[in-house]
Amino acid sequence: MSKVWLIAKRLLWQNRWLFLLLMLWPYGMAVLLLAGGRPDPDDVLWMLHQECFAGLALVAVTGSTLLGNELRSRRIVTVLSRAVSRPMYLFALLVAAWIPLVLYASGFLISGVALARAIHQSWGGVLVMLLLQLVPGVWAGAISIFWSVLFPPLIASLFSIACIALAAYGSILSLPGPSRLLASLFQITVSGTNAPITMWLDAAITLAAGAVWFAAASWIFSRRDLNLAAD
């Protein structure tokens, strides 16, 4: 795990300014709502739900581009030459894609609590949204890593976003796992009402689905010819 963290930390540091701006984005949105006085509760709830989806998109796009950037810069040659297995390397990319969501979610929580107090509601739902955002974030990260193994960054990003959109559409059919979890996420109110009792079961299924996607990515990546020989 120490090698995984060292790789992930280097990747995070390379993109530190972008991640810092993304972490501050929820605060900026909260300021806009609060600037006109007490915000409308419906506007607050709508914004929080949109920020949840934006957080998942952040993971999907980040995870889809990391491997391509490493291949283009040939830094992967140095990493894999230091007794780092390919699955371990992919896991480091997954960690590097997921940690920005944690930073983003911290801003989401603090700004969400401030907005909940501004509309005189409890903020229990904001905490639940945060937790349910982090779980599908793992799933979205695994999907993005899978597509990044097969396609260039732009195409991988499109496929990853499409998978999240399909899962959101599947919520209409109440499909268990990611689809129903996303439906639960977008049903929860600021105070925490309307939270389905199946959401924790769906969270477990979503993590299992993410593990399957990651295992498939690792299997393909371990057998892929990366053409890493020096020019």
pLDDT digits (tens, 9 = 90+) for 8-66: 888 888 888 877 888 888 998 889 888 877 888 889 999 998 898 888 888 999 999 98
> Is 228 contained in some domain?
no
Average pLDDT of the segment spanning 178-198: 81
> Is 81 contained in some domain?
yes
Phi–psi pair at 39, nearest 5 degrees = -75, 160
> Is 82 contained in some domain?
yes
> Is 186 contained in some domain?
yes
The whole-chain average pLDDT of the chain stands at 86
Q: Which domain holds residue 76?
A: 2-223
Nearest to 118 by CA among 37, 185, 50: 37
Average pLDDT of the segment spanning 168-183: 81
> Is 230 contained in some domain?
no
Identify which has the larger pLDDT, 227 or 46: 46
Average pLDDT of the segment spanning 147-175: 87
> Is 26 contained in some domain?
yes
Confidence band (pLDDT; 50, 70, 90) for 191? confident
> Is 231 contained in some domain?
no
> Is 219 contained in some domain?
yes
**Contact assessment for residue 127 and residue 109, using Cβ atoms and an 8 Å cutoff:** yes
Dist CA 129 CA 191 (whole Å): 11
- CB within 8 Å of 35: residues ≥ 6 apart: none
Q: Hey, what are 186's tokens?
A: 């977008």
As for how many domains the chain has, the answer is: 1
Residue 219: is its pLDDT beyond 90?
yes
Per-residue confidence (pLDDT) for residue 231, from 0 to 100? 38
pTM value is 0.87
Nearest to 81 by CA among 229, 182, 231: 229
Q: Of 55-59, 79-83, 200-204, where does mean pLDDT reach its minimum?
A: 79-83
